[in-house]
Amino acid sequence: MLKKIMGLCLVLFIFYFDTADCEIISEKHITQLSGSFVPYSLTKSPDSKSVAFVNQVGKKQCVIVDGKEGKQYDLILEITYTKARVNPTTSVIIKTQVGDHIKFSPDSQRIAYKARVDMKWCVVIDGKEEWGYGDIDLHTLIFSPDSKRVAYIVDDGKKWCVVIDGKEEKKYDDMDKDSLVFSPDSKRVAYVVHDGKNWCAVIDGKEEKGYDGILKGTLIFSPDSKRVAYVVRVGNKWCAVIDGKEGKKYDYIDKGSLIFSPDSQRIAYKAKVGMKWCVVIDRKEEKEYDGILAGTLTFSPDSKRVAYVVDNGKNWCAVIDGKEGKGYDDIDKGSLIFSPDSQRVAYVVRVGKKVCVVIDGKEEKEYNGIIAGTLTFSPDSKRVAYVAFQASFIFNERVKSPFDF
């Protein structure tokens, strides 16, 4: 019954696009899906030129990449079906996939997945098997930026360890499964572990000082790969550790805010002081605010300037080089950008029910909407472009703008 339902959904999907009023600009045949491909396994490469999926062959499974079938294994991808009741008379089938199953390298030339033979698991990288491990968490598998190296985390049932280029590192009681990272130049590796007493960062195989906790998602390398930073918990306080040196302790440090400048010489993050927030740049605190919009803290391309968006208690404004701009009802958090030459700044604001772009402190024409992510400077920094619309909607026989709903 499930196969019939999935088949019907596929037919309806194709029918919809066959009858849609659209123009095909270009198309290219990439691969042919077999009738026995395993749902949820379809994966495309970063360059969108290759496709891989898991194929069911009797009681075995294999990975097919661009039409080429790999070795068959007992299990590669397992889908579980759970019956869930919506109300006393109706129930549905929920399909649950377990983990990530196929990984392409950044250059799209390499592929990795885990496979099981009997009750033993291995990692298959470019068709070559790496054995000798218990549970393998494939979502932790990463290729280096240059695509030449591979690292992942394994569990032997008692301890955890990182495997780098086929070689096991030291085993630990626990690990932060999301911390494993290569440096931008692909030469260094870092991750977070628990030794039974404390959490510590392991950088190039060497353990740093132990702490009560290390904030998830904060372990980063500088763009030049020479420096390392992360956020730690000491008691009920938090501080940034930069090149092994602890900074001032704060009530909290926002995990998504810790960043290096493009030239790797400067560092900034967002810290909480009591009920206020401030930006810390090169260990110096800026003015405190009611809030700092997440994801807005940024350095200019030349690393000399800093900008972010704050809540000053009345409205939102951009702070550029420590100076507050005009306040607005809202500022699009993903829109604050510097020009390539670092001399200009632009962002999207909301004024009542309209939106507009602010360039170098000057407001452009107002629109009903501006498409997120379209604001950009020209390479020579002299021009600005974005996608805007003046669309209105008919609701209850009245003309409405998007912000009326």
pLDDT digits (tens, 9 = 90+) for 345-372: 999 999 998 999 999 999 999 999 999 9
Residue 235 C-alpha from the chain's centroid: 29
CATH number of the domain at 172-283, please?
A: 2.130.10.150
Helices assigned H by DSSP within 215-259: none
pLDDT reported for residue 19? 42
pLDDT reported for residue 398? 60
pLDDT reported for residue 230? 98
- DSSP single-letter state for residue 73: B
Task: Please report, in angstroms and rounded to a whole number, the separation of the first and last CA atoms in the chain.
Answer: 41
β partners of residue 252: 272
| Residue range 295-315, pLDDT digits in tens | 999 999 999 999 999 999 999
Question: For residues 53 and 37, is the Cβ–Cβ distance under 8 A?
Answer: yes
Compute the distance between CA of residue 133 and CA of residue 224 in angstroms, rounded to an integer.
Answer: 34
Compute the distance between CA of residue 316 and CA of residue 279 in angstroms, rounded to an integer.
Answer: 16
Listed range (33-37, 234-238, 356-360) with the worst mean pLDDT:
33-37
Kindly tell me if the per-residue pLDDT of 12 is higher than 90: no
Compute the distance between CA of residue 140 and CA of residue 177 in angstroms, rounded to an integer.
Answer: 6
Kindly tell me if the per-residue pLDDT of 4 is higher than 80: no
DSSP per residue, 316-359:
EEEEETTEE---BSEE-TT--EE-TTSS-EEEEEEETTEEEEEE
Give residue limits of the domains in the chain.
31-152, 172-283
Higher pLDDT, 382 or 401: 382
Listed range (92-96, 181-185, 287-291, 377-381) with the worst mean pLDDT:
92-96
Residue 203 C-alpha from the chain's centroid: 22
Residue 91 C-alpha from the chain's centroid: 34
Full-model pTM: 0.83
Kindly tell me if the per-residue pLDDT of 73 is higher than 90: yes
Compute the distance between CA of residue 124 and CA of residue 63 in angstroms, rounded to an integer.
Answer: 10
pLDDT reported for residue 405? 43
| Residue range 99-143, pLDDT digits in tens | 468 999 999 999 999 999 988 889 999 999 998 777 788 889 999
Rounded to the nearest integer, the mean pLDDT of the chain is 87
Mean pLDDT confidence for 322-341: 96
pLDDT band at 2 (very low <50, low <70, confident <90, very high): very low
Higher pLDDT, 333 or 23: 333
pLDDT reported for residue 87? 59
Question: For residues 346 and 384, is the Cβ–Cβ distance under 8 A?
Answer: yes
Q: What angle do CA 152, 158, 164 make, to 5 degrees?
A: 20
Kindly tell me if the per-residue pLDDT of 175 is higher than 80: yes
Phi and psi at residue 9, to the nearest 5°: -60, -40
